[in-house]
Structure 1
Amino acid sequence: MARKFLYVVAALIVLAIAAMFAFRLFGNDLLRRAMVPSVAFRAEPAMPGNAYADRAMWFARPGLINTPVDWLPQGLARTAPGNAEIFFVHPTSFVGTDRWNAALNDSETNGRAQVFLRGQASAFSAAGRVWAPRYRQATFGAFLTGDAAATQALDLAYRDVAAAFDTFVAEADPKRPIILAGHSQGALHLTRLLREKVAGTPLARRIVAAYVVGWPVSKATDLTALGLPECAAAGQAGCILSWQSFAEPADPALIVDQYDASTGFDGRPRKGTPMVCTNPLTGTASAAAPASVNQGTLIPDKALTDATMAPGLVPARCDERGFLLIGDNPPDLGPYVLPGNNWHVYDYSLFWANVRADALRRLAAWEKR
């Protein structure tokens, strides 16, 4: 499980290099041809009602030991966890093109998922008990096409996440508050969970915060349907955080083009609307902060099996559209920056220590209400 650390896995190397060369030399069409499955979508049955009662269906949950989320960077002492129940949905770790959804027993894909959980979900372990489900995620290519098969693949993945969430709600301590978190595809599924299973229900009162990271959320067309406001203050509970990291000069055209062509959760076009941008260094909306307030970025070692935490390396500021800019001299974390100076892969690790502190601060605020 410790063979690769954080985001450094073979598929991501292939993905980053392919994206970089395809974008610079041939444009998006070549990337789509390389990564979008050419096979028909294959419908699969829904999970049995009790599927997630099986602990084998989880990467992490109470009762499991030595899980990926238990990892901590060198030199950081382990503390008694807080009282939150944390539901974390990992990002895309399946990049296959022979099918639209990952198989649950795909060891290579599951290994990559555990890599992400070590570098992302571990930031929440101090706040409480982390639950991280396995699910039949959509392949990376599903985000590069508007084909109906892509929508079907994402729907299938969401149904698994929703089934896992139902088990989480049923088995988690009902007296404990809840933190929702995810990244990329996982964050997309969280937006649907919020709309369908949290907003307007008694469960909403238990939400400490929802970390919808690496996925755009429109302030104008999405927030109302999600049932929570954006986090405006560092000590605020019951709110949504979101950011998408870019070094400068930033070229977010790939995201903007898809975002502007999409429809918000309220049925209105998202075109031109600002995105939620929480500065993870301050925990506030649309803010700027110097590198000096960054409590720790994860820096992998040369063997790529562990990491240290280095403070004061990365600044952050939200631009007018809602992208999080990290300056023009970010640290060398590896060759996995995506086209347009997109540091998507590093959304959590750039600010790992601040995310950890943010979750604890919002949990304390919730407990004082």
Structure 2
Amino acid sequence: MAKKFLYFIAICIVLFLVGRIGYEMFQDELAELALVPSAEFTPTEPMEANAYQDPAMWYSRPGIGVNDPARWQPAYAAMSQEETDLVAEQVADQAEAAATTQRAEQRKAPIVPDYAVFFVHPTSYLSRDNWNAPIGDEEAERIARIYVRGMASPFNSASEIWPPRYRHATMGSFLTKEPEGGQAIEAAYADVAEAYRYFLSSLDEDTPIVLAGHSQGSLHLLRLLREEVNGSPVADRLVGAYVIGWPISIEHDVPALGFAACATPAQTGCVLSWSSFAEPADPSRVIETYANSIGFDGDKRGSSQILCTNPLTGVFGGSADASANLGTLVPDDSMSNGELVRAAVPARCDERGLLLIGDPPELGSYVLPGNNYHVYDVPLFWANTQADVNRRVSAWAAAR
């Protein structure tokens, strides 16, 4: 009996190793098989000009009420007395520094104005049934609301937050070289652009704006910056563009955007971006895809440095200890709730432009291969992102 059991264990180990080796060798092919639609691309009809007048086309906007996911405010996790004393000391130091700055600039510092946020959520449609998510797809909508709750909520000090529903490209669109993938992304952008135009038309002409998104949402925002914002009257109202979780080449992309990378914590009209990996990091597949992609200037991105904003400091590059982390949003198992944990992870931009966060934190089961914390790019630095946007809005107001 014991011998049979050992044979069984040995067979299981062999099957596991063979399966693991097969996955490592063919994971791209397996992912494509699982996620890329086999159907022909069916062109989506353009949104009607007034489609985004309908409140149902937004996850959040003025008047949504108590079920507004972007207005969620997580609580801080309980702390030990030692941690409480340390935080109190840090808050006191920050308050004294802020008071000193306020006294120095008292005469010219205006009241911080209201501001509005246009937020584009990442991919929540994984089906192979369509190249673009149908509006109202139950599972895609459920996941999208979780994303809005966790990623748009750091901007909840805004007077208005506008995350649109849009027919975003399915996950498989990014895993194929076939033209249908590009067509699906193009169709998704058309919806985002239409929603953005309605967002602008709903604001007072002097309202400062923030653009924010993640992953596919950031990809669309980068195009929006180039085609709709750059050179337009609204460019002077741009506080910042938080295009997170999508690699941006400093050499081949940033100059074409018309907006610089944020170099200081209070700079406005600039771009912030980061892509998070725990250590040891294996970003080989991300780097390979990035290197072979074409930049906004028409050249291959190659080995050019990726834009890395350190979310703990608000500046380009550099490093910061975990003590500078004001609060990581640690989700529960459902990913629909969570609590803030202070000093959970550090942040360091490496020479490639990836954001390294030290040892892998326990945030859930959605960590990608290679210690890629893509899904958690914003939650890792929830409270710092909130502090960052408030600081830049204040700076924008002070400059006027």
> Which residue is 2:84 aligned to?
none
Separation in 2 of the partners of 1:166 and 1:175?
16
Alignment partner of 1:368 is 2:398: yes
2:370 is aligned, of 340, 347, 350, to 340
User: For the Cα contact (< 8 Å) 2:333–2:364, is it kept in 1?
Assistant: no
> Which residue is 2:62 aligned to?
62
> Which residue is 1:209 aligned to?
240
Higher helix residue share: 2
Flag as ranges the 4+ runs of structure 1 deviating above 4 A.
20-23, 302-305
Separation in 2 of the partners of 1:133 and 1:107?
16
State the secondary structure of the residue aligned to 2:119: strand
> Which residue is 2:132 aligned to?
101
**Structure 1 residues 57-81: Cα deviation after superposition (integer angstroms, max 9, x where no partner):** 11111121121101111259xxxx9
State the secondary structure of the residue aligned to 1:27: helix
Alignment partner of 1:356 is 2:386: yes
Q: Percent identity?
A: 50
> Which residue is 2:186 aligned to?
155
- How far off its partner does 1:27 sit? 2.4
State the secondary structure of the residue aligned to 1:272: coil
> Which residue is 1:254 aligned to?
285
User: For the Cα contact (< 8 Å) 2:36–2:173, is it kept in 1?
Assistant: yes
Residue identity in the other structure for 2:317: S
Alignment partner of 1:91 is 2:92: no
State the secondary structure of the residue aligned to 1:179: strand
- How far off its partner does 1:227 sit? 1.0
- Normalised TM-score (structure 2): 0.84
- Normalised TM-score (structure 1): 0.90
State the secondary structure of the residue aligned to 2:368: coil
**Structure 1 residues 145-183: Cα deviation after superposition (integer angstroms, max 9, x where no partner):** 111000000000000000000101111222210000000
Separation in 1 of the partners of 2:266 and 2:162?
24
Separation in 2 of the partners of 1:127 and 1:209?
13
Gaps in structure 1 of 5+ consecutive residues: 1-19
Report matched runs for 1:16-31 at 5 Å: 23-24=23-24, 26-31=26-31
> Which residue is 2:10 aligned to?
none
**Structure 1 residues 32-53: Cα deviation after superposition (integer angstroms, max 9, x where no partner):** 1111111111111100111101
Aligned residues: 345
Residue identity in the other structure for 1:71: W
**Structure 1 residues 331-354: Cα deviation after superposition (integer angstroms, max 9, x where no partner):** 211111001110000000000000
Report matched runs for 1:1-369 at 5 Å: 23-24=23-24, 26-66=26-66, 67-75=68-76, 83-301=114-332, 305-327=336-358, 329-369=359-399
- How far off its partner does 1:243 sit? 0.2
Structure 1 residues 93, 273: CA separation in 2 closer, same or farther (over 3 Å shift)?
A: same
Aligned CA-pair RMSD: 1.6
Gaps in structure 2 of 5+ consecutive residues: 1-19, 78-111
Give 1 or 2 for the bigger CA radius of gyration: 2
Separation in 2 of the partners of 1:161 and 1:298?
27
